[in-house]
Chains A and B, each alone.
Chain A
Amino acid sequence: MVLNRMTNSMNKTSIFTALFLSMIMAISFTGCKSQKKIAAEKAQQELLAKTNKAIQDLEAMANKEYSSLDELAQDEARLNEIKSYNLEDATANDLITKVEANLASQRTALEEKLAAEQKAKEEAAKAQAQEAQKRDIYYLMDNIQGSGDTQDSNLMITEALALFSSPDVPVLIEIYNDGDIVDYDRPTTAVKYLNKLKDVQRNPDKIKEFKTDANGKITELILTKK
C-alpha cells in the first residue's frame, strides 16, 4: 500500500514536472519563433525603406540635367550603390536602366560642352595673343617705313624678323577680294617685304591675318591694302 502510494506520488510529480517542462519549452519555442519573425519583419521593413529611398533617388536622377562633372560623378556613385543592392523590384530596376541611360548621355553632353568651352577659351587666348602679336608687327612695320634712317630701320627689321619662323616666310598681299575671286600681288618673303618698307618709305598695307607655328613664330603673313 505504502509502495503504491509512493509510486502514485512519484508519478504525479513526474507528470507535473514533465508538464511544467513542456510548458517552459513551449513558451521558449514560441518566444524564439516570434524573435525571428520580428527580425524578419524588421529586415523586410528595412529593405522596403531602402527600396523606397532607392526609387526616390532614381526618380530624381532619371531626368536630371547636370551642370558639373562632380555632381554627375556623385550620382553615378549613388547609382552603383543602388545596383549593388540587387533589388528585386521591377520599378527600381526599370528606373536603374533609365538612370543609366540618362547619366551616360549627360556625361557625353557635359564632356562635349566642357571640351567646347575649353576650346573656346584656348581660341580666345590664342586670338588675344595673335592680336597682341599683330600690333607688334604692325608697329614695327610702321616704324621701319617711317624711320628715315637706314641703321634704325635695319635694327627694326632684325627685331621684326625675330617674330617670323624664318626670313623666307611667305608674305601675301591681297589686292582684290570679292568673296569668290581673291587676287594677290606677286608673293614675297618677310625679309624682302620689310626691306621694301624701308626702301619705299611708306606702308600701303595692313595685316589681315597670319599663321604661327608651335613656338608662336609667324609662318605666313597675309596683308591687304589699306
Chain B
Amino acid sequence: MTNMKSIKTLSILFLCLLGLQVFGQDTPKEEPPMPPARKAAIDSLALEKVHDLSKYISKIGDKETSFSEASRVIERALELFVDDAQIGVSTLGKSQIRYFAIKKYLERLNKLNYKSVNIEWFDIQYISDLEKQPDGKYVGVITIYQKFTGVTEDGMVYKDITKKDITIYVERKTTQIGGREIGFWDVLLGDIKVSETKKG
C-alpha cells in the first residue's frame, strides 16, 4: 500500500515537472526592442532600394538607353524583388488594372511605343512601418507617386500620375565573406499595387 502511494506521488510530481517544462518552452522569450537607430537604418535602407528601383525604371523606359544597357539594368532591378512579385499597371480612363510579373513589366517598359518616355518617382515614403512578423521577417509598405510622360512619334503626349504601394520584406541573414560571418538585412520588394491614377 505504501509502495503504491509512493509511486502515485512520484508520478504526480513527474507529471508536474513535465508540465512546467512544456509550459516553459511555450512561453515566448521577450526579445529586447530594436534600438531606434538600428530600426532607422533598416527603414532608410528599404527606402533606398525603392529609390534605386525608381532610377532603374526611369533608365529602362528611357529611349536613349541602349538595349544591352537596358537588359543589364532589368537584371539589376529584378534582384530587388521577391521571385513571384507582380506590378499593377493602370491607364487613364480605364478602371481595369492589369498585373504583370516584374520581368515582363520591365521588358514591356523598355519596348513602349513612344518616341520618348520619362518616368519619375516622387513622394517616396512609408505608409505602413516595417513590423516584425511571427516568422521573424519585417514587412512594411512604401508608397510612391509615378509621373509618366510618353511622347508619340506624331507628338502626342500622354501623361499620368499613379500612386503605387510597394510591399517591403526585410529579413536578417548571414553569409561568409573572407572567412568571417557577415550579418546583413536582405531587403526585397514584393507586389506593387496601383492605388490611384490621375492625369499628369
Measured CB to CB, the residues of A under 8 A from B are 150, 170, 172, 175-176, 178, 181-187, 192, 195-196, 199-201, 204, 211, 219-220, 225
26 contacts between A and B (CB under 8 A): A150-B65, A150-B69, A170-B177, A170-B178, A172-B184, A175-B45, A176-B37, A176-B38, A178-B35, A178-B37, A181-B38, A183-B38, A183-B42, A183-B185, A184-B183, A184-B185, A185-B184, A186-B173, A187-B182, A187-B184, A195-B76, A199-B56, A199-B76, A204-B48, A211-B178, A220-B177
Supplied contacts A183-B41, A183-B183, A184-B184, 10 more A-B pairs, CB within 8 Å: A150-B69, A170-B178, A176-B37, A181-B38, A183-B172, A185-B45, A192-B76, A199-B52, A199-B59, A200-B51
B44 in the interface, Cβ–Cβ < 8 Å? yes
Given known A150-B69, A192-B76, A195-B76, contact A175–B42 (CB-CB < 8 A): yes
Contact with A along B47-63 (1 / 0, CB 8 A): 01001100110010000
Given known A175-B45, A176-B41, contact A200–B66 (CB-CB < 8 A): no
B73 in the interface, Cβ–Cβ < 8 Å? yes
A196 to chain B, nearest CB (A): 7
B199 in the interface, Cβ–Cβ < 8 Å? no
B44 to chain A, nearest CB (A): 7
Q: Is the CB of B38 within 8 A of A200?
A: no
B139 to chain A, nearest CB (A): 17
- The size of the chain B interface, using a CB distance under 8 A, is 30
B194 in the interface, Cβ–Cβ < 8 Å? no
Q: Is the CB of A196 within 8 A of B76?
A: yes
- With CB as the reference atom, state the residue of chain A lying closest to B184: A184
Give the docked Cα–Cα distance between A176 and B76 (Å).
24
Q: Which 8 A-B pairs have the closest CB atoms?
A: A176-B41, A184-B184, A200-B55, A175-B41, A176-B38, A170-B177, A186-B186, A200-B52
Q: Is the CB of A196 within 8 A of B72?
A: no
Most chain B beta carbons < 10 A, residue from A178, A192, A199: A199
> Which residues does chain A contribute within 8 Å of B38, judged by CB atoms?
176, 178, 181, 183
Q: Is the CB of A175 within 8 A of B177?
A: no
A187 interface neighbour in B51, B52, B56, B177, Cβ under 8 Å: B177
Contact with A along B157-196 (1 / 0, CB 8 A): 0000000000000001101011000111111000000000
Contact with A along B3-32 (1 / 0, CB 8 A): 000000000000000000000000000000
> Which residues does chain B contribute within 8 Å of A196, judged by CB atoms?
52, 76
B16 to chain A, nearest CB (A): 40
Give the docked Cα–Cα distance between A1 and B130 (Å).
161
> Which residues does chain A contribute within 8 Å of B56, judged by CB atoms?
199-200
Q: Is the CB of B177 within 8 A of A199?
A: no
Q: Is the CB of B76 within 8 A of A186?
A: no
> Which residues does chain A contribute within 8 Å of B55, judged by CB atoms?
199-201
